[in-house]
Amino acid sequence: MSNPTFGISIARTDGEPRPAVWSDMSVVGIVGIAEDADAATFPLDTPVFMYSDDAAMLTDLGATGTIAEAIRLINSQLGEFQVAAKVVVVRVEEGADTDGTMSNIVGVQANGTGLHALVEAGPLLGAVPRLICTPGFTGQEPSGGGSNPVVAALPAICERLLAHAVVDGPGTDQTDAVDWRETISSDRIIPVEPGVQVWDTENSVAVNQPLSPAVIGVAVRRDHEFQGRPFHSWANQPVQGVVGASRPINFSLTDGATEGQTLLAANIGILTRGEMGVSTAIANGGFVSGTFSASRSNSPGIRTPRRNCGSGNSPSTSRRRRPRSFATSVLRAGGIARRSTRSCLTCFRRSADNPGRPLT
């Protein structure tokens, strides 16, 4: 419609403030195997939405494979008044060997299979997964050598979805973990080491499982604690539902020569056990996680602590920004650790006259 030659024209100035568009950053995406799953409910290479407490869906998923145990670990981390997590499941066919299964997880972009099926979750389900894991298939080297193909494929998927992926290391020793970490260079990948032990009620024995679902469960809990606002630190949080780590990692808040500090310096998140009465331990008890994204620099990535430590920080001190290592950022050990007057070693020093007073 053209404006009249003589008359009135009406125009609207499009400069009004607009409300922020809300986005759910806590939707979990799991790609894995489930041999006993109902094929009608969970067809291969198809994203399926479910709530993590849906009994009917969990029954159809079956008890074997990697997906069911991942959901159980996520549920173990949920917080107060938190009933379930939102999960997008992609079931792939188990290969003849590990290499074949990893190929099925990577999938083919043109066919929308494997990891690429997560990209279709938004249009098909109205839920975009932003926290991704492929438990059990990120720490191995392929039989022909080289870096893990699943980890190599994840950055492109995460960039398309604006997601983060938590990936498990080899779980063998420090040397293998650092070698594996050297193959990763993406701010959207969060490497963790080692695995966890969970109790198998059917066989009454502790079994090893990947740590990544537990870390993602911690992320869902943290987002819930802050009314859905993401990017609050996952570090220094208790991990529930586990009876141990798949291998012990020595850690000290004051000794950089420990394995835990070495892995953290390489931007590998760790699971370590609290120790009662040990002033340099991460906590008095339980199992505590710390996470880093595998950024290209040595600085912590987007999911790392952003506050000074200690429970007695003054407002002026807590607003200061200075580089800190994870070891000096984890002294505030959630709800399970001591709340000592000895605050962050890089932020506070105690003197005879002013114990606990922050340095300015």
Number of domains in the chain: 2
pLDDT score for 314 = 35
The domain boundary residue, chosen from 250, 271, 294: 250
| Structural domain boundaries, residue 116 | 28-250
What does pTM read for this prediction? 0.77
Residue 11 dihedral angles phi and psi, to the nearest 5°: -130, 145
Residue 267 maps to a domain: no
pLDDT score for 1 = 62
Is there a single domain that holds both residue 238 and residue 337?
no
Angstrom distance (rounded) from CA 313 to CA 52: 38
Is there a single domain that holds both residue 50 and residue 199?
yes
Angstrom distance (rounded) from CA 288 to CA 224: 19
Return the H-helix or E-strand segment holding 166: strand 164-168
Residue 131 maps to a domain: yes
Residue 82 maps to a domain: yes
pLDDT score for 236 = 84
Other Cβ atoms closer than 10 A to 254: 11
49-82: buried (b, 16+ CB within 10 Å) or exposed (e) per residue?
A: bbebeeeebbebbbeebbbbbbbbbbbbbbeeee
Is there a single domain that holds both residue 51 and residue 200?
yes
Is there a single domain that holds both residue 57 and residue 206?
yes
pLDDT score for 4 = 84
Instruction: Name the residue with tokens 């926290």.
Output: 131
Is there a single domain that holds both residue 134 and residue 245?
yes
Residue 270 maps to a domain: no
Residue 17 maps to a domain: no
Is there a single domain that holds both residue 196 and residue 327?
no
pLDDT score for 349 = 29
Angstrom distance (rounded) from CA 271 to CA 169: 12
Return the H-helix or E-strand segment holding 47: strand 47-51
3-state secondary structure (DSSP) of residue 197: strand
Q: Six-digit token pair at 238?
A: 């208790």
Residue 115 dihedral angles phi and psi, to the nearest 5°: -60, -30
Residue 288 maps to a domain: no
Task: Please give the C-alpha separations between residue 118 and each of 30, 158, 310, in angstroms, as whole numbers.
Answer: 9, 10, 40
Task: Please give the C-alpha separations between residue 198 and each of 34, 122, 147, 235, 307, in angstroms, as whole numbers.
Answer: 19, 33, 28, 21, 32
59 HSE (CA, 13 A, CB side): 3
pLDDT score for 305 = 31
Is there a single domain that holds both residue 245 and residue 354?
no
pLDDT score for 321 = 38
Angstrom distance (rounded) from CA 151 to CA 184: 8
The domain boundary residue, chosen from 250, 272, 295: 250
Residue-wise pLDDT tens for the chain (360 aa)? 678 888 888 887 777 788 877 788 999 999 999 999 999 999 999 999 999 999 999 999 999 999 999 999 999 999 999 999 999 999 999 999 999 999 999 999 999 999 999 999 999 999 999 999 999 999 999 988 889 999 999 999 999 999 999 999 999 999 999 999 999 999 999 999 999 999 998 889 999 999 999 999 999 999 999 888 877 888 888 899 999 899 999 888 888 899 999 999 999 999 888 887 787 777 777 778 766 555 544 333 333 332 333 333 333 333 333 333 333 333 333 333 333 333 333 332 233 344 443 333
Other Cβ atoms closer than 10 A to 305: 20
Is there a single domain that holds both residue 342 and residue 244?
no
- DSSP conformation class of 93: -
Sequence length of the chain is: 360
| Residue 192, domain CATH | 3.40.50.11780
Is there a single domain that holds both residue 242 and residue 324?
no
pLDDT score for 104 = 96
